[in-house]
Amino acid sequence: MISLNLLFIGDIVGKGGRRAVASLGAEIRKKENCSFCIANAENIAGGAGITAKCLDGISPGVADVVTGGDHVWDQKGFDKEIVSLANVIRPANSSSLQPGRGFSIYNNPASGELAVISLLGRVFMKTESNCPFETVQGILAKIPKTVKSIFVDFHAEATSEKAAMAHFLDGKVTAVFGTHTHVQTSDARILPGGTAFISDVGMVGADDSILGRDKNAVIKKFLTGMPQKLEVVDEGIRFDAAIVSYNPENGKALKIKSVSLMSEYSNVPP
């Protein structure tokens, strides 16, 4: 039986996250023999949004595909840039009038074609979006039957919605990776139908922070209820990810394990 490894990197936060992924991500790919890598990068530019420049050194290089989320349009001009970035996908259940693509089929040199889908949750989320369950059903109907390996980034707040999506897709996709909360969960497992699932992969962001932001500013905001500038912390970066082993012949996941380690590269000057 053939077994391949895929690396999924959690939400990359700011400059420190970019540096850690550029250095540590490549090492992990090599050490874990990962033939393909997906990274959520919706917070890569100053902690909110994406720019083509911020993807330099990340993709290509470490990540073969970059996914977005509710902050995908936070950086001015990215709506123009995404059109020419074939390896970047935004949430598929956003308005069809938005630029870019919500899923695509890519070539893994080790095994051939695989599909990557980006979805946005609706529970406790401020961003307007269509039903992710109906959307992914329609996408699966469009993917050729020859494409056996399908990976889903479900960017959502509620663990119940993430778990529901995973069970909904069990046996239909290779893996469902939860993102958005920046806190890695300990529920990585293989579901009965052969789909790998983790509620949240975590983040590549400052360990001594609150979701990658200055902890004192966040506490002050909660304490006073007043607006605060929540600066991104770019030092002391923790690298969160998940690795899935799967059979490319039938798209079934064989094993999933979470990764969480400190990066020694986060303080290197740009």
Active-site positions? 71
What is the distance between the alpha carbons of residues 231 and 17, in angstroms, rounded to a whole number? 14
Q: Please identify which residue in the block is written with the tokens 């893994």.
A: 108
Residue tagged 């990197």 (tokens): 9
First to last CA, the chain: 43
The single-letter code of the amino acid at 214 is D
- State which H helix or E strand residue 196 sits in: strand 196-198
Task: Give the integer Cα–Cα distance in Å for 240 and 73.
Answer: 24
Both tokens assigned to 77: 């001009």
DSSP 155: E
Sequence-distant contacts of 52-60: CB under 8 A, at least 24 apart: 52/78, 52/81, 52/85, 54/18, 55/85, 55/88, 57/18, 57/22, 58/12, 58/18, 58/21, 58/22, 58/25, 59/87, 59/88, 60/87
